[in-house]
Chains A and B, each alone.
Chain A
Amino acid sequence: MILYFLRRLTALLLTMFAASIVVFLVTEIIPGDPASFMMGINADPQAVAALRTELGLDQPVATRYLAWLLGMLQGDFGQSYTYKVPVSELVGDRIMVSLPLTLYALALSTLIAFPAGVISAARRNTTADFAVIGATQLGVAIPNFWFAMLLVLAFAVNLHWFSAGGFPGWDAGFLEGMKALTLPAVALALPQASILARVMRSSLLDTLDEDFVRTARAKGLTRSQTLWRHALRNALIPVLTIVGLQFSFLLAGGIIIENVFYLPGLGRLVFQAITQRDLIVVRSVIILLVFAVVAVTFLVDMAYAAADPRLRRRPR
């Protein structure tokens, strides 16, 4: 187990290292010089040059990459060119919107998908099953930003239950904050719930075909007893993987929904930073999101290996 852990950890570190190089190089070739962008078109060339020196932009690429990498390892992500505050502070503020939104959407998605998937599998080939299959087909086909617009039309414009966008901040109270995140969370949760319900259904159907389920039935347990006591627990493993993946997907994937609802989250921060050529912010946020994805995958792998020793062997 320790060997497996070390091997996976090395892979994680190598992926992070490679990702940092890719992110750095890609942001390096974004056209437009941040210094001239900050000073405006009519800026004095000398002032621009001075600013370039101040920002460290006149250093060689390798030096800047190393400075960025070493800074990050010490928790220093640098200073935003446009906001003039430490990037870590900016990210800290924005994550207070993105993280709750992600968790809210994930909770909704799980709450919808679990019962739907279980009912669908337990009542295979009935009307309920077909209804779930149909709904999930539709759910994965709907673009979440369009669904978001329909939600705004119904619940903000017509019914006035929610506001059409914006975020009052957590200072306005927990309930107010959650209320502002409700429509975005529903819009994000719908496609995820559809995917999750399908995985839940097929995983449970596979498990219900297993010998131990037949044995449980043979020793006299009812169908629902077998389902709840034996099958469900075993069927949950692939489902939890998908939940793990969805967490990182939602954290990064909220960018369009954050734009629809004008939410000051991480996605919107990156989007604005790209247009403002605030490279240091773009880099740091993307690398943090990549880290979140890799770390979640790592944790899921570890949880698997702890549960199932066969997985610790070298794959293939």
Chain B
Amino acid sequence: MSVASRQDTGFVRAALGHPAFLAGLALTALFVLAALISFLWTPFDPEKMQIAAKLQSPSAEHWFGTDHFGRDVFSMLMVGARVSIAVAFVAVGIGIGFGVPLGLYAAANRHGLIDEIVMRGNDLIFAFPSLLLAILITAVFGPGAVNAIIAIGIFNIPVFARLSRGAALSLWTREFILAARVAGKGSTRISVEHILPNLMNLLIVQGTIQFSLAVLAEAGLAYVGLGAQPPTPSWGRMLAEAQTFISLAPHMALFPGLAIVLTVLGLNLLGDGLRDLHDPRLRRSRA
């Protein structure tokens, strides 16, 4: 058996013995699956209004009840999962896509002018109240899913830049990097071929955590009316609409909220689990 596949079986065995990781994986898979299935099938048309059937409590026909326009809450949640996941995924992608190269470049040229600019730029973004600036950005460019992605994505850039710079700096002092330099490789090649692969675990763990934060942020923006626009259902806006009917139809507020909580909980458990599983010390202590 090759070293790589032996490591893989070790990981799988450790993962199977980690209940929190499995719970996180199951919850995350549930919502990704719901989003994917929604492309092919939903119990009802999530955008179709049936005023005669408005504000119904959960029943055999409408599993999670209906809203004030008679739309099926379950179907809306399925399509809403799509929006939540897509926004969070692209926003984290922006963070990784811009942040990691910046961090790697800054680490390879540390104490240089670019390093200083990148780090001070990071400090600047961190100093802004993130939600407020996201609201400002969506106000400038108009509300909508794409602008929500940009607003959330911008705040992910310094997170990944800082993380990859810090980790890369410590890797640059290691012997295998010295060996690569002696072999005549330039700093860009070393960053891509040797540093980046060693950052993968760290990036996956942080990516999962940022993903859950992005789901929360998207819900918040949608709640104040700056996320995906009607008629596309989104969890945050469903909650905003539910607020008016909170005493008449509490189920309208209950299910979208639970969907957010379970998705975020699942992603957090998944992230924590991955961190444990990639940490050899923790892995050994579990075995």
Contacts and interface: CB of A to CB of B under 8 A. Distances in A.
Interface in A259-296: 259-260, 267, 270-271, 274-275, 282, 286, 289-290, 293-294
Contacts of A31: 140, 142
A15 B127 contact: yes
Interface string B113-128: 0000000100110011
Contacts of B265: 137-138, 141
B30 interface: no
Given A19-B127, A143-B260, A270 B132 contact: yes
Contact of A138 (B123, B135, B256, B261): B261
Interface in B198-221: 212, 216, 219-220
Contacts of B256: 146
A149 interface: yes
**Interface range, A side:** 35 or more
Nearest to A27: B136
B232 interface: no
Interface in B173-225: 212, 216, 219-220, 223-224
Contacts of A26: 133, 136-137, 140
B243 to A, nearest CB: 6
A289 B133 CA distance: 11
Of the four ranges (under 10, 10 to 19, 20 to 34, 35 or more), the interface on chain B belongs to 35 or more
A142 interface: yes
B123 A15 contact: yes
A19 B257 contact: no
A150 interface: yes
B212 A141 contact: yes
A15 B137 CA distance: 20
Contacts of A138: 261, 265
A167 interface: no
Contacts of B2: none
Nearest to B212: A141
B118 to A, nearest CB: 14
Interface stretch (B50-58, B60-68, B97-105, B245-253): B245-253
Ranked 10 nearest A-B pairs via Cβ? A252-B129, A146-B257, A141-B264, A141-B265, A274-B139, A157-B247, A141-B261, A30-B140, A289-B129, A293-B127
Interface of B: 110, 120, 123-124, 127-129, 131-133, 135-137, 139-140, 142, 169, 212, 216, 219-220, 223-224, 239, 242-243, 246-247, 250, 253, 256-257, 260-262, 264-265, 268-269
